[in-house]
């Protein structure tokens, strides 16, 4: 089954396609006997793709941060940390508390 090419609004390859191409470059560099010029060219393309993937991930992380409840400057703890530090979580008492 052919995979649909993903692109962003500017027509550049999406994260999945960039990552797949980066993986192909790494595999080729590791497994093939390539001339130095090809290695350098692929390395440069790989660096570009890695930078693109990192930017896409950073953008997605920022979007998630803006919509995630409880993750604000007033509450720097993650939701899991917030739940484990509440007043009902008293480690000195071995009883199980439901409320």
**Percent helix, percent strand, percent coil in the chain, to nearest 5:** 55, 5, 40
Q: How far is CA 70 from the centre of its chain?
A: 21
- pLDDT, position 16: 95
Domains of the chain, each with CATH number or no CATH = 15-71 (1.10.287)
Query: What does DSSP assign to residue 1?
Result: -
CB 49 within 8 A of CB 61: no
* Binned average pLDDT, 10 residues per bin, the chain of 99 residues: 54 89 94 93 96 95 84 54 52 53
For position 1, what pLDDT does the model report?
A: 43
The phi and psi torsions of 6 (rounded to 5 degrees) equal -100, 140
Long-range contact set of residues 42-48: C-beta below 8 Å, sequence gap at least 24: 45/21, 46/22
- Per-residue model confidence (pLDDT) at position 12: 77
Question: What 3-state class would DSSP assign to 27?
Answer: helix
């Amino acid at each position: 089954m052919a995979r649909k090419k993903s692109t962003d609004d500017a027509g550049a390859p999406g994260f999945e396609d960039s990552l797949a191409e980066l993986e192909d470059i790494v595999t080729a560099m590791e497994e093939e006997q390539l001339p130095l010029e090809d290695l350098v060219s692929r390395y440069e393309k790989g660096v570009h793709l890695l930078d693109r993937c990192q930017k896409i991930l950073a953008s997605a992380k920022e979007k998630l941060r803006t919509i995630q409840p409880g993750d604000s400057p007033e509450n720097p703890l993650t939701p899991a940390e917030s739940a484990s530090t509440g007043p009902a979580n008293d480690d000195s008492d071995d009883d199980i508390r439901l409320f």
